[in-house]
Structure 1
Amino acid sequence: MKLVYIANKINGTSGIQRMIAFQINYFIENYDYEIDLILLEQNEIEDKNFFELNENVSLHYLKRATTNVKSIYAKIKALNITLKKIKPQIVVACESDMFSLYLPRFIKGNFKLIYQRHDTKKLNFEGVNNTAKAKVLNKVKKRLLARAGRHYDKFVLLSEAHRVDWLRVKNIEIINNPVIINTEKRIAKLENKQVLAIGRHDPIKGFDMLLKCWKKVAEKHPEWKLIIVGKATHNLDLLKLAEKLNITDSVTFKGHTKDVSSIYLDSSILLCSSRIEAFPLVVMEAMSFGIPVVSFDCDYGPREIISHAVDGILVPQNNIDILADSTCHLIKDEHIRKEMGKMASKNIERFSVEKIMNQWKALFEELVIK
Structure 2
Amino acid sequence: MKTILILVDQLYNHGGIEKLVAIKANYWTEKFEYKVIIVSTEQNNRPPVYKLSTNVEFIDIDITYHRAISFFHPKNFKKIISNIKELKKVLISTTPDFILVASHIPMTYILPFMHTKAKIIKEFHYSKFNREKNKKEGIFSSIEKRYDYLVVLSPEEKTFYPSKNVKVIPNPVVALPKVVANINEKQNIAGAVLRFAPVKQIEKMVEAWELFYQKNLDWKLYLYGATDNEYYEKIFKLVAEKNLEQSIIFKGQTDNVITAFSEIKVLLMTSANECFPMVILEANSCGVPVVSFNSPTGPRNIITHNVDGLIVPLNDVPKFAEVLDHLVKDKIKMKTLSENAVTTANKYLIEDVMWMWKNLIFESND
**Pairwise mapping of residues 11-160 of structure 1 onto structure 2 (< 5 A)?**
11-43=12-44, 45=45, 47-64=46-63, 67-97=75-105, 99-105=107-113, 107-121=114-128, 141-160=136-155
Given candidates 237, 240, 243, the residue that maps to 1:246 is 243
* Structure 2 counterpart of 1:303, one-letter code: R
In structure 2, distance between residues paired with 1:83 and 1:182: 38
Aligned counterpart, 1:177: 171
Contact 1:3 1:90 in 2 (8 A): yes
Q: Secondary structure, in 3 states, of the residue corresponding to 1:115?
A: strand
In structure 2, distance between residues paired with 1:10 and 1:65: 13
RMSD: 2.0
* Structure 2 counterpart of 1:242, one-letter code: V
**Pairwise mapping of residues 1-370 of structure 1 onto structure 2 (< 5 A)?**
1-43=2-44, 45=45, 47-64=46-63, 67-97=75-105, 99-105=107-113, 107-121=114-128, 141-167=136-162, 169-190=163-184, 191-232=186-227, 234-236=229-231, 237=233, 238-367=235-364, 369=365
The CA deviation at 1:123 is 8.7
Q: Work out the percentage of aligned pairs sharing the same amino acid.
A: 28
The structure-2 alpha-carbon separation of the partners of 1:85 and 1:22, relative to structure 1 and needing over 3 Å to count, comes to same
In structure 2, distance between residues paired with 1:323 and 1:249: 21
The CA deviation at 1:98 is 5.3
The structure-2 alpha-carbon separation of the partners of 1:101 and 1:334, relative to structure 1 and needing over 3 Å to count, comes to farther
The structure-2 alpha-carbon separation of the partners of 1:188 and 1:271, relative to structure 1 and needing over 3 Å to count, comes to farther
The CA deviation at 1:99 is 3.7
**TM-score, scaled to structure 2:** 0.91
Contact 1:96 1:118 in 2 (8 A): no
* Structure 2 counterpart of 1:63, one-letter code: D
**TM-score, scaled to structure 1:** 0.90
* Structure 2 counterpart of 1:335, one-letter code: I
The CA deviation at 1:217 is 0.9
The CA deviation at 1:165 is 2.7
In structure 2, distance between residues paired with 1:145 and 1:321: 39
In structure 1, distance between residues paired with 2:123 and 2:109: 10
In structure 2, distance between residues paired with 1:65 and 1:204: 25
Contact 1:41 1:62 in 2 (8 A): yes
Contact 1:188 1:268 in 2 (8 A): no
Provide runs of 4+ in structure 1 moved above 4 Å: 122-125
In structure 1, distance between residues paired with 2:171 and 2:64: 34
In structure 2, distance between residues paired with 1:117 and 1:342: 30
In structure 2, distance between residues paired with 1:270 and 1:31: 34
Contact 2:172 2:348 in 1 (8 A): yes
Q: Secondary structure, in 3 states, of the residue corresponding to 2:144?
A: coil
In structure 2, distance between residues paired with 1:155 and 1:271: 30
- Number of residue pairs aligned between Structure 1 and Structure 2: 353
In structure 2, distance between residues paired with 1:288 and 1:278: 19
The CA deviation at 1:325 is 0.6
Contact 1:113 1:153 in 2 (8 A): yes
Gaps of 5+ in 2: 66-74
